[in-house]
A and B are shown apart, each in its own frame.
Chain A
Amino acid sequence: MAVKAFSSDWAAQFKDEINKSSVYKAAGKGWKWTVGLVVEAEPNKHFPESRGVVMDLFDGEAREITVGPASDAQKCDFVITAPYSRWKQVATKELDATKGMLQGKLKLKGDLPTIVRYTRASQEMTECTTRVPVEWPDEA
C-alpha cells in the first residue's frame, strides 16, 4: 500500500527495504555514521514544511529511520539537502543520486572520502527508496 511521502510510515517501509537488501548489507559493512536527509519545503507542490529524515545506519543495517524537523537531520554526521521535488526525482529514478550530487542538485555535507568509499551503499540505499510505493502530495 502506498504511504505518504516522507512520513513515519514511509520511514518504516524504507527501513524494511534497506534491511531486506543483501547488496546494502555487504556494501554498508563498516559504516557507522548517521545520515540526515533534509527535504526542503515546496508549498506550491503541497509540501509546505521542510522535514528531516534521520537515518541511524550501522554496519550494513538500518537500526532506525525517523522523520521529524529538518533541524534534527542537520545534526547528523552526513547531511544531504534538496527540495522536495528533487527527492521525488531521486525516488522515482528520474535523477541518479550520484549525478545529482556531482551537479549540486543534492547538496552534501560531511567527510567526502568516507561518502565516496561507500558509493555502492548509497546507490543501493537510493534503490531501496524507489521500492517504497509513495503517495506524492503534488499528485493527490
Chain B
Amino acid sequence: MARRGVKLALDRPQLVAYAGDEPSAFAQMLGGLIEANVKANSKKRHDFDSLSARVGVWVTDIDEGVSLEFDSGRLTVYNGLEPRRTITIRAEAETIMSLSNLKIGLFGLPVYYDENGRGVALKLLQGKLKINGLLPNIATLNRVTRIFSVQ
C-alpha cells in the first residue's frame, strides 16, 4: 500500500505516524488518544500489535474524518477517508466520544448495557451511528473499540 509523505510522530517514532504534512486536529487527537491508550495498557497493546485493518472515522457534524491504518503494531493516521477501508464509522462528534467511553466487559466485549453503552446502541438502532462493514468484521470492530476505549 502506498504511503504518501508519512511522518513519524516526533516523540514516539515507532507507534503512530501521520500521513501528509499537516495532520488535522482530529487526526492528531485520535492518533494521540490511541497511542496513550496502547502505551498505558498491555491488553490494548496486544490488540494493537495483532490488528491489521483500515478503519475510517467520519464525524458528520463537522464534516471531517480520518482513516486509521493499523498494521500489526504500527498506526498511520490519514486525513480524510482513504479507499479500501475494512470498517467505516460515521456519527456526530458526541457519539464518537461516547464510543471511546465504552466500557470493556467479559471476554473483552464492549459493554452496551450501562448508560453510555445503551446510548451508543440506541444511536446505532436510530441510524445516527452508522458502521459500514460491521457484519463481516465484528471481531475487528471489537478490537478497535478496545484500543479506542479510555475506560
Q: Which residues of A does B touch, CB under 8 Å? A: 96, 98-99, 101-105, 107-108, 111-114, 116-117, 119
Q: How far is the CB of B145 from the nearest CB of chain A, in Å? A: 14
Using A101-B29, A102-B59, A104-B24 as known contacts, say yes or no to A116 and B64 having CB atoms under 8 A apart: no
Q: Which of B5-13, B94-102, B120-128 forms part of the interface with chain A?
A: B94-102
Cβ contact within 8 Å between B150 and A113: yes
> Which 10 pairs between the two chains have the least Cβ-Cβ distance?
A104-B25, A113-B150, A112-B33, A119-B97, A116-B150, A117-B150, A99-B93, A102-B26, A112-B32, A113-B36
Cβ contact within 8 Å between B101 and A119: yes
Q: Which residues of B does A touch, CB under 8 Å? A: 24-26, 29, 32-33, 36-37, 40, 59, 61-62, 64, 93-94, 96-98, 100-101, 150-151
A107 to B26, CA, bound (A): 11
Majority DSSP secondary structure for residues of A touching B: helix
Cβ-defined partner of B29 (8 Å) among A102, A105, A117, A119: A102
Q: How far is the CB of A123 from the nearest CB of chain B, in Å? A: 8
Residues on the B chain within 8 Å of A116, using CB: 33, 97, 100-101, 150
A22 to B147, CA, bound (A): 31
Q: List 12 A-B contacts (CB under 8 A).
A: A98-B94, A99-B62, A102-B25, A102-B59, A103-B64, A112-B29, A112-B33, A113-B36, A113-B40, A116-B97, A116-B101, A117-B150
Residues on the B chain within 8 Å of A96, using CB: 93
With A99-B59, A102-B26, A113-B36 given, name 6 new contacts (CB 8 A): A102-B25, A102-B62, A102-B93, A103-B64, A116-B101, A119-B101
- Residue of B at shortest CB range from A112? B33
A81 to B76, CA, bound (A): 27
Q: How far is the CB of A136 from the nearest CB of chain B, in Å? A: 25
